[in-house]
Amino acid sequence: MTPIPARPCVFAAVLSAALLAGCQGAYFWALNARVPVQEVQTTVYDSDHHLSLDAYRGQSAGPAPVVVFIYGGSWQNGERGYYRFVAAAFAREGIATVIPDYRKSPAVAFPAFIDDSARAIAWTRAHATEFGGDPARIYVMGHSAGAHIAALLGTDGRYLARVGMTPRQLSGVIGLAGPYDFLPITDPKIKKVFGAEKDWPASQPVNFVDGDEPPFLLLHGAADKTVWPRNSERLAAKLRAAGESVTLEIIPGVSHVGLVDGFVSAKYSPVLAESLRWIKATPASSAGSR
């Protein structure tokens, strides 16, 4: 495979071309090409469904904040190994990262992948100290469909309740370009993900904001044509109306994919700097270790 050029503009063009061609493997290879080999703890967190996660230690002394990163892929695609570049970016800043796989459509439909992610969070809370993490400082982050999953875990308490937790035991939720208010569903493939129309309202994070949420950071590219920025704006408005802590940033000139590319270089987006600033300013939940 041809080496990735060093110039940022050429590198970005290669990334976009690979993704638009439908070659996810090449796209993520490009993102990870410059990432050093990292020590990773791979664990089966759900033996019943053969689901594993990767836990990465942060480069810091003492218990580190932990980001559970839930990847996107239209609830149909993706795998945890693609996102090593996210863990590497956080590790350099002293933050531990957990990246779980989850079941996807068409093998399953909503809400199976929400329940899977809840179990991954419960595993993280129980085992954080084993990879240098602080179980009282768990932040759930997702991109695109992963942001939808993260937001629903932070707003609809039923999923975490099934694993003995509450949303307030999370120190925060970070949503990157997420769909939070996307009815009606028109895409036939997405209809299969969410089942009967009568059940669609249960899939919308905006419908469950009721004042028991952890702090939220919502980042969205203004040039996003895949998931419209109004999704983040509407969720932020709901959280504010409920008296919850929410930070919303619509970033000019940044696309749907470009937002997460910022973990490779700040030339693509400020996602890493903004996430780090918010994590450092958002303390552990008082309920986090209970």
pLDDT of residue 86: 97
Do residues 25 and 54 share a domain? no
Give me 195's structure tokens: 């089942």
Do residues 2 and 70 share a domain? no
Do residues 3 and 138 share a domain? no
247 belongs to a structural domain: yes
pLDDT of residue 23: 59
Do residues 3 and 63 share a domain? no
287 belongs to a structural domain: no
Do residues 275 and 166 share a domain? yes
267 belongs to a structural domain: yes
pLDDT of residue 113: 98
* C-alpha to C-alpha distance for 53 and 73, rounded to whole angstroms: 17
Give me 138's structure tokens: 């768990």
Do residues 129 and 212 share a domain? yes
288 belongs to a structural domain: no
Do residues 19 and 129 share a domain? no
Do residues 113 and 3 share a domain? no
Note whether 46 and 20 are within 8 A (CB).
Answer: no
Q: Which residues contact 243 (CB under 8 A, 6 or more apart)?
A: 211
256 belongs to a structural domain: yes
CATH number at 270 reads 3.40.50.1820
Distances (CA, A) of 19 to 75, 163, 216, 235: 17, 36, 29, 28
Do residues 149 and 46 share a domain? yes
Do residues 90 and 212 share a domain? yes
286 belongs to a structural domain: no
Do residues 210 and 255 share a domain? yes
pLDDT of residue 1: 30
Residue ranges in the chain modelled with pLDDT below 50: 1-22, 288-290
pLDDT of residue 26: 82
182 belongs to a structural domain: yes
pLDDT of residue 30: 83
**Number of folded domains in the chain?**
2
Do residues 51 and 11 share a domain? no
Domain that holds residue 6: 1-34
203 belongs to a structural domain: yes
